[in-house]
Structure 1
Amino acid sequence: MTQLQFNLNMDHLKDSVMNSNIDAVVKSTIVLVLNEYMEKERDEYLKVPAYDRSGERRDYRNGYYERDFMMSIGKIKLRVPRTRSGDFSPSVFERYKRCDKALILSMLEMVVNGVSTRKVKNIVEELCGESVSKSFVSSLTEKLDPLVREWANRPLNTAYYPYVFVDAMYIKVREHHKVVSKAVYIATAITEHNQRAVLGLKVSHEECYEAWQAFLQELIKRGLQSPKLIISDAHPGLKKAIKKEFVGTSWQRCTVHFKKNLIDKMPKKNMAEVKVDLKRIFDAVKVEDARKFKEEFIHRYEKNPKLEKVIDALEDGFDDGIQFLNEPTKYHMYTRTTNSLERLNEEVRRREKVIRIFPNTQSAFRLIGAVLMDYEEKQEKKRPLFSTN
């Protein structure tokens, strides 16, 4: 191991402490240590001390050059020794490169967590005493691309996902000097080990049958097996795509969206009791009970002309709204709605609001993918939703 020896000018050091701020003292000390360390490393590389002769000599000293080096305390200037052949390279820069990596990872983490590039720039300047451009921070985020791409294309045939949730949200993206709206498709699932997982992500021009079909086909190509149940809202294109791509899989209409649609068809006043009776239908534990409560609801309110549209919509969507009742009771609270995916969308939205408008589609895919990766990693560390016993 390289041994260090220092000849300190105590008067100079005392003056530095008394008349300078502590940051300057810390920087000066680090410069002293690193310069001495590199000098000793060169001696060990040459296998001969300065001014000595030896048959084991590997090379000759060739002076020094100055190099700026960024650390968490700021930028320091080092006196780097060199050899005539140029083969010698101090380990300092390799060893302390992890500091640079830590800084870069911290900057990426801030961006992923919704901190704007402008704020990240200001934070780095505050921490390191050095200014970095917003474009530099943006370029760092591109380091996420291969990680997100690998995650987004990972195989799905290593596990079975019995319950799959799909939904779309909208974001703003700059495209050809214009700001356009784009749909972000996200698929999540409950695994056979009763843990939540994120299956896939896609950014598309619009929410339509063709786009939903392409998204589902990508999941299938990656190995997704037909689940027992797919839970979503009642978007016509999505319903058609599910029916086309997952033959034999039941579709569960999100009960929260369904009830809201029914309530929107009701008059605004004097509907409290009607809403309680409607809620009773979807709170049933068995399919038979749900059908019974539905028939009672219709019998009670069918003569009210103000509820005619409500009853028609209820009968039309009833079967799709109770498919979760065919699954074991312990799954009911998790499979009746897309609430879990809606909450994840809100988390994505919270990060997206800081950016407001993505500079391009790839940047949107990168950031949202990183958020989803972070979410899934946290889910893997959590306990299962309930015991498998």
Structure 2
Amino acid sequence: MGLIPKDQLRQLIKEHNLQTMEDVQKALKDIFAETLQEMLEAELDTELGYAKHDSKQKQTKNSRNGYSKKTVTSEYGELDLTIPRDRLGEFEPAIVKKHQRHVTGIEDQIVSMYAKGMSTRDIQDHLHNLYGLEVSPTLISNVTAKLLPLIKEWQNRPLQSVYSVVFMDAIHFKVKQDGQIISKAAYMVIGIDLEGYKDVLGIWIGENESAKFWLHVLTDLKNRGVQDILIICVDNLKGFSEAIAASYPQTEVQKCIIHQIRNSIKYVSYKDLKKITTALRPIYTAPTEEAALLELDQFEETWGKQYPLIVRSWRSNWDELATFFKYSPELRKLIYTTNMIESYHRQLRKVTKGKSIFPTDESLLKMLYLATMDVIRKWTGRVQNWGQILLQLTVHFPERVQIR
């Protein structure tokens, strides 16, 4: 059975001559406003102990109390309400509080749509088409601005003292600044704790990607309680390893093999592209570091004269490209690329693809934070084969990894 009996609904339709969706929307708005108004009156009656039918007491009540006008936003548009006030007491209506300007879940809906990457215009159109509600860009901005204290709290939360593996990478966006459109880097960090659970440790917005800013990020992690990181996985950004060593001198660095391959083929002619990638594969799929070095020697014999820069790059970065060889397949698979953080970036791109340019750093940060919260909610399980990986870590880092 519905909330309103069918015969009353039919009477309502007949009396108001409801023929279109706009007619229904207007009628629902009136009913919603009248219902709120009655609830406000009933709330004050209950608070002061007045019976609804007692006219003498009502007159006394009305002489003691005042009223104020308030316009609030709802799914049905703006509602003009008369708010009763008790001049002699401390009564404040619970249904519409003193500074409340929204009486429904409209704010949650705005935040939810913003989290899905909808533009301000899209949010306006959606609320208008679905509810007939006119929402200004300022209102949307004000609603999403309430996220900033939450983001600040999340960004400054204490972290665990030890992380087994940390992935660090940046993703780039266009942002307006001082009347110009510039490229900004969103610095991202994913950490896997000793229990095998992953988490996004923070998001930092900076200009371009630089080792100097990564040093700032690492310092921030340290200030938030991260005392030790066993392995950090990064791309081939110049100066990155030095920044890591300055903050966490004991940490092992694994440079991403996929990034190294991309750098290697950057200047390879198209006709040799497939041959080069095929020739590089035996290097990073070798069973041991010694076998990998033999494969690198073989690559140099075949391609060294034609592509000396490739050989030079692999040899100069070898110490940090070969880190994964000392571990067993389960841990190798986890650390030899930055696939974990790149997968996270792809999820962010799905949300931000509708925003070619962000008006401010804050607007970018808000969207990335909301998208990140959506991603993290799905990270409920441990990293695959974590039991075996943890045993390996206790062998390689016996003084730094303690199993409880």
* TM-score (normalizing by structure 2): 0.80
Tell me whether 281-290 or 132-141 shows the greater mean CA deviation: 281-290
Show the counterpart of 2:116: 113
Tell me whether 142-151 or 16-25 shows the greater mean CA deviation: 16-25
Give the alignment of 1:221-236 within 5 angstroms.
Answer: 221-236=223-238
Question: Deviation at 1:127?
Answer: 3.0
Q: Which runs of 5+ in 2 are unaligned?
A: 1-7, 389-404
One-letter amino acid of the counterpart of residue 152, structure 2: R
* Partners of 2:298 and 2:271 in 1: CA distance: 22
Please tell me whether the aligned partners of residues 170 and 181 of structure 1 are also in contact (alpha carbons under 8 angstroms). Answer: yes
Show the counterpart of 2:151: 148
Residues 107 and 316 from structure 1, CA distance in 2 versus in 1: closer, same or farther, beyond 3 angstroms? same
Show the counterpart of 2:219: 217
For 1:202, what is the secondary structure of its paired residue? strand
Structure 1 vs Structure 2: percent identity of aligned residues? Answer: 26
Show the counterpart of 2:339: 339
1:313 equivalent to 2:317? Answer: no
Question: Deviation at 1:147?
Answer: 0.7
- RMSD of Structure 2 on Structure 1 (CA): 3.2
**2:286 aligned residue (284, 287, 294):** 284
- Deviation readout 1:44-101 (Å, 9 max, x if unpaired): 33323333469xx888465766654432233444455455547544333259x79746
Give the alignment of 1:259-298 within 5 angstroms.
Answer: 259-270=261-272, 272-298=274-300
Question: Deviation at 1:357?
Answer: 2.4
Question: Deviation at 1:274?
Answer: 4.5
* Partners of 2:32 and 2:186 in 1: CA distance: 49
Give the alignment of 1:23-42 within 5 angstroms.
Answer: 23-42=25-44
Q: How many residues align?
A: 374
For 2:181, what is the secondary structure of its paired residue? strand
Tell me whether 203-212 or 63-72 shows the greater mean CA deviation: 63-72
Question: Deviation at 1:285?
Answer: 3.9
Question: Deviation at 1:141?
Answer: 1.3
Please tell me whether the aligned partners of residues 62 and 84 of structure 1 are also in contact (alpha carbons under 8 angstroms). Answer: yes
Question: Deviation at 1:296?
Answer: 4.0
Show the counterpart of 1:178: 180
Residues 285 and 225 from structure 1, CA distance in 2 versus in 1: closer, same or farther, beyond 3 angstroms? farther
Question: Deviation at 1:110?
Answer: 1.4
Question: Deviation at 1:265?
Answer: 4.3
* TM-score (normalizing by structure 1): 0.83
Show the counterpart of 1:385: 384
1:51 equivalent to 2:78? Answer: no
Question: Deviation at 1:107?
Answer: 0.6
**2:170 aligned residue (153, 168, 171):** 168
* Partners of 1:109 and 1:338 in 2: CA distance: 29
One-letter amino acid of the counterpart of residue 115, structure 1: M
* Partners of 2:30 and 2:270 in 1: CA distance: 73
* Partners of 2:132 and 2:245 in 1: CA distance: 58
- Deviation readout 1:98-149 (Å, 9 max, x if unpaired): 9746211221121122111111122222233231211221122111101111
For 1:337, what is the secondary structure of its paired residue? coil
1:131 equivalent to 2:134? Answer: yes
One-letter amino acid of the counterpart of residue 163, structure 1: V
Show the counterpart of 2:95: 92
Please tell me whether the aligned partners of residues 161 and 192 of structure 1 are also in contact (alpha carbons under 8 angstroms). Answer: yes
Please tell me whether the aligned partners of residues 232 and 338 of structure 1 are also in contact (alpha carbons under 8 angstroms). Answer: yes
One-letter amino acid of the counterpart of residue 218, structure 1: D
* Partners of 2:287 and 2:76 in 1: CA distance: 61
Show the counterpart of 1:4: none
For 1:180, what is the secondary structure of its paired residue? strand
1:193 equivalent to 2:195? Answer: yes
For 1:269, what is the secondary structure of its paired residue? helix
Tell me whether 12-21 or 117-126 shows the greater mean CA deviation: 12-21
* Partners of 1:85 and 1:165 in 2: CA distance: 61
